[in-house]
Amino acid sequence: MIESLEETYKEWIPSSLFSYLVLGILSGCFFEHFFPDLILIWVSIHLLFLIYLSLIPIPKKKLVSFSWGIILYFVLALSGYTYKTAPFLKESQSWKKEFSDQINRILDRANIHEREREISLGLVLGDAKGLDKEFKKSAREGGILHLFAASGLHLGILIGCLFSILKRIPFLGYYTPRILPVLLGFVYLAVLGFPISLARAWIFSGWILLQSLFFRRSRPADLLISSAGIVYLWDPIRSFGVSFLLSFGAVSGILLILPSLQKCLPPNSEEKSFVNRIFGFLKENLLVSVSAGIGTMPSLIFYFGTYSFGSLGLNLILVPICGILLPLLYFSLVLEAIHFSILAKPFWFVVSFLLEVLEKVTLYWAGSDWNLIHYYRGKTKLFGLTIWVLLLFFLFLWKSVPNPEKEENPDLDLNSDQNVKSYKINFLKSIWVLGFGICLLFQFIIAGSSNWIRSPFYFFGDKFSFLLQEKGKLVLAGKCKYSSKILYKSIGKDPELFCGNQKELRNIYIEHESCLDWVKECIRRNKNLSLQYGGKEKPKIAGFENWILIPKRKEFNLPDPEEKLIRFEVGKDSLISLAVLTKNGKGSILLIPRFGIPERSSEWNQFRKRLGIGPGWRFIGSDELPGIPVL
């Protein structure tokens, strides 16, 4: 039984002594960051454990390696090594700039301009900073921003293309076509500034190279743990950042979760027809995208509070396209760099076409609301992560489901009932339906958990403007151009929070043209909104064609259903009208002072009764508005 389980889960269990040494180092790092008061106790325990193991005739080598890893981490921490950055990191920034300038000059010669140029630079340099805001936002929402981050996709295509070319040169032998692409991959890593995700990919390629040179094969768990340890020892400061977690999360999902997901889809047909080949290709891409998505899901939910469930479809379309685009782009750049422009022209034609396809598909996908973005805030993050852990536990157990191909061997178990055996094989061939249904159910539950706790209506502002969410309404009163900081730091970068519940939002009210940029996303998501502009006349600029001009509002409903906010402009509004409005009910009266003349709310509150203001009302100044809400 134990041997059977070990055989089933051997890919999850590290076997090399170096992996256990790295696990010891990482455990020391974990204790230092989360339980710093216990780090000395943890080291002392394993120091005593090493002394004990030295007295045993045949000690457990893996336990010894783990304990030595903890001691090694303690020594590195005492020496200050854990606070160092990667060697040549500063110098690589100048290399990256020179490389970027060179790529720009080549693209100039090839007449690649505008957005095609931005996408080309993003793909080659693995940097999304040069993309314009609209396309970058669409790529982020579509879950394809990883295409513009230096990663294993870029390095794998580069090394794979070089290997495919070099292995066809007979006199290079066995070793050179394998070693040279990895060395050139390191040069590529250096000129891009040693990004963590690409460093992980290069270490992977180096590890696989060693396996091919010495005809050895390591387990996926060893590959992951050893690579993580090498990255940490190479650059302790940048390790375990968001980029590190996303990169290792994606590749961990592909190496460890993908085999379980294979049992949640129908098995491949043995018939090698064209249709079956296409089905196999699509199935493989689907499995890679889903497993990478599951691996990155916890980091995206925890750090960014968002996950695009529709990114799977866009990745299925664009990742294969990039698999064709990147080699052609690299080859075209090389031909253009050595001034073979005539030979490069047909390749640039294909590259431009694929770049246009990538651009249009990304923008169309973003505009069609197929991204299925869900936002996680507060406790909903905990809900989503808990369900993700349950999904992982299910996939771990599902891996133990027998493979029907192994059960079909007629030489085994000759004395068994053939009818029972046939029934078992047919059952195993159909059990993928159950696995598929359960995985799909988990995805729906994780997506739905983002709405288990509804966000409250928000009310906050400063002396220039305030934001108020009423039921079915969004109010941005005042001049937003002076309040950009508070709007962005609060909920302005999150359209789900900023716009409120999209299904219930029916009306948007603003009072200045600078507020239009903040509500554009709300308007894009809901085409049936009533748009109101408060003032004497609408701005004569693009974007206000569908806005209805209404008088500037004085009265607003606060999130507390029993309270209201009345805006009172001193020296302009009537005190008699204010007394009538505030005779009943309760709420706040926001004082808008005359230009250059400050007004103290405390003084107004002293004379509140004499002014005829009801007992449930109080005067407030703009500095007394609620500040940035805690989300």
How many Cβ atoms are within 10 Å of 425's Cβ, its own excluded?
16
Q: Partners of 587 in the beta sheet?
A: 564, 617
The pTM of this model reads 0.81
Task: Confirm if 246 and 266 have CB atoms less than 8 A apart.
Answer: no
Asked if residue 262 lies in contact with residue 401, where contact means CB atoms within 8 angstroms, the answer is: no
pLDDT of residue 408: 56
Residue 239: partners with Cβ closer than 8 Å, 6 or more residues away: 196, 228, 231, 232
Residue 592: in which H helix or E strand, if any? strand 586-592
Closest CA to 608 of 631, 629, 588: 588
Q: Which residues pair with 473 in a beta bridge?
A: 470, 507
Residues of 459-478 as b/e, b for ≥16 C-beta within 10 angstroms? bbbbebbbbbbbeebbbbbb
Instruction: For residues 500 and 487, give the distance between their C-alpha atoms in angstroms, rounded to a whole number.
Output: 14
Report pLDDT digits (tens) over 219-232: 899 999 999 999 99
Q: What pLDDT sits at residue 502?
A: 62
Please give the pLDDT value at position 439: 92
Encoded tokens for 280:
């196999």
Q: Which two tokens stand for residue 494?
A: 């999150």
Tell me the average confidence (pLDDT) per consecutive run of 10 residues in the chain, 631 residues long. 70 89 92 89 90 78 91 91 85 89 90 87 84 83 80 85 88 88 91 88 87 83 91 89 87 91 82 79 88 91 86 87 90 89 90 91 82 82 93 91 64 55 72 90 91 77 84 86 79 66 80 85 80 85 82 87 86 86 88 80 86 88 75 50
The residue assigned the tokens 């005779």 is: 583
- Written as six digits, the tokens of 565 are 């906010």
- List of residues 6+ apart from 500 with CB closer than 8 A: 455, 457, 469, 474
- The pLDDT value given to residue 601: 86
Sequence ranges of the domains in the chain: 1-83, 89-375, 455-553, 562-630
Element (H, E) at 163: helix 152-166
- Could you give the CA distance from residue 558 to residue 577 in angstroms, rounded to a whole number? 20
Q: Give the DSSP H/E element, type plus range, for residue 582.
A: none
Q: Give the ranges where 490-569 is alpha helix by DSSP (H).
A: 495-498, 516-525
Residue 130 CA, distance from chain mean position: 19
